[in-house]
Structure 1
Amino acid sequence: MTPKQVERIKNKITKIKRALSADKKRWGGYYDDSRGLRYLPPELYLKINDYSGALRYYNWFDKNFPEDSGYPIFLFEWTITLFKTKRIKQAEKKVMETFYSNTYLIDKFLNKELLDFGKLENSNWEYSSLVEQLIYSKDQNELIDFADWLENFITTEKFKAFANKFIEIESVLKTEPIGEKRTKLVKEKYKLIDNIND
């Protein structure tokens, strides 16, 4: 990437930050951001390999949008950022959050066959078609170290226990009618994500 291209990307980031700032002013100290601008900067930071810039942005995002869990690719970019800034324990948690939000992305990134276990897909973020928007691959030079780490992490007991429990719950939920058992399963599923953030 040429210095001019890097400069253009930095300008885009600045423009988005300005638009978000204006949005906050407009709504009296709160963000509306119905356009979803808040999700765009990480991809731009990653394009120019500015992982500390991406980390600062994610810290800002966490502070300003505490209830926003982000969408799967955004979470995946967050995982890359945490790994590249040597925050491995946090990266492990973010991998699990990514898997929880979309079970296909990790396999797509690692060029593996997509895991399909016939789960319920209640939002378009959960669909396998989302992987078509993933612009990252284990073959990218700057992501080889991340891909090696990810490949190893998904074979650990920690990840496998989490993923298997998630798959087990999702498989039962697919046919479980509304009632006490279903409610209990849904709570158990939400607890999975709460537990990884403890």
Structure 2
Amino acid sequence: MTIPKTPKGISNRITKIRSQLSAFKREYGFIDDGGGARYYLFYLYFLLGDNRRSSEYIRWFQKDFPDDSGEPFALLCWALILHRMGKDGNYILARTMLSNIYLLPHLLGEEMPEEIPHSSNWNGADFLEYTPERILEAITDDDLSWIRERFHSERFQKVLNRHIEIEKELEDTPRGDRRSALVHELYSLLDGWR
């Protein structure tokens, strides 16, 4: 999806998409968003910079998609929205990091971790080819400093390193109790961060 060039265009696009999602929910009782509009909205809210509307959207998203694993760039926008609002965005930034282990090093211009097998096309280094330029342009030096400080913290690095270890071990671990335990641990790495 293309991103409108003006704040008014962004605002209008947000209104249109939100109306479409709400209409679908009214008609069918749930939201079918196979196209990922719920993620695209994070891009738009980030670019718009309207804290009130962003906060309202985040609450709506968490209510209607409580178990959503997220898309890396949408998670990044969400984390940066929280940071700019002066709220704790650490948990969402950590989710961003684990959703694509190459994204934060890429943003920081740092060496990226070695390629490991991934369960989704969103997880690989090649996904970075689809980085929305407008999002990159909107990331400030303050945003990058915040990301750098968090990314290099002991807490983030410990989780990242364990995530990579588990992914590597899963590559050669057959179905069974050990594999189940690893998968459970992988999906529990951020438990206790909220």
TM-score by length of 1: 0.86
Counterpart for residue 189 of structure 1: 186
The percent identity for this pair of structures is 34
Local SS of the residue matching 1:34: coil
Counterpart for residue 20 of structure 2: 19
Unaligned runs of 5+ in 2: none
Could you list the per-position Cα deviations for residues 40-77 of structure 1 after superposition, in whole angstroms to 9, with x for gaps in the alignment?
Answer: 22211222322442232111100111121221111111
| Alpha-carbon distance in 2 for matches of 1:130, 1:141 | 19
Deviation at 1:142, TM superposition (A): 5.2
| Alpha-carbon distance in 2 for matches of 1:23, 1:33 | 9
Counterpart amino acid of 1:31?
I
Unaligned runs of 5+ in 1: none
Gap change, CA 1:178 and 1:123, over 3 Å in 2: same
Deviation at 1:16, TM superposition (A): 0.5
Counterpart for residue 127 of structure 1: 124
Gap change, CA 1:64 and 1:53, over 3 Å in 2: same
| Larger CA deviation: 11-20 vs 166-175 | 166-175
| Alpha-carbon distance in 2 for matches of 1:192, 1:185 | 11
Gap change, CA 1:52 and 1:134, over 3 Å in 2: farther
Counterpart for residue 100 of structure 1: 98
Counterpart amino acid of 2:104?
I
Counterpart for residue 84 of structure 2: 84
| Alpha-carbon distance in 1 for matches of 2:36, 2:193 | 26
Deviation at 1:193, TM superposition (A): 2.9
Counterpart for residue 43 of structure 1: 43
Gap change, CA 1:142 and 1:169, over 3 Å in 2: closer
Deviation at 1:85, TM superposition (A): 0.7
Counterpart for residue 160 of structure 2: 163
Counterpart amino acid of 1:105?
L
| Alpha-carbon distance in 1 for matches of 2:139, 2:72 | 21
Counterpart amino acid of 1:151?
R
CA contact (8 A) 1:52 1:85 kept: no
| Larger CA deviation: 75-84 vs 127-136 | 127-136
| Alpha-carbon distance in 2 for matches of 1:34, 1:142 | 27
| Alpha-carbon distance in 2 for matches of 1:193, 1:44 | 27
Counterpart for residue 175 of structure 2: 178
| Larger CA deviation: 141-150 vs 79-88 | 141-150
Q: CA RMSD in A?
A: 1.8
| Alpha-carbon distance in 2 for matches of 1:142, 1:177 | 42
| Alpha-carbon distance in 2 for matches of 1:143, 1:50 | 16
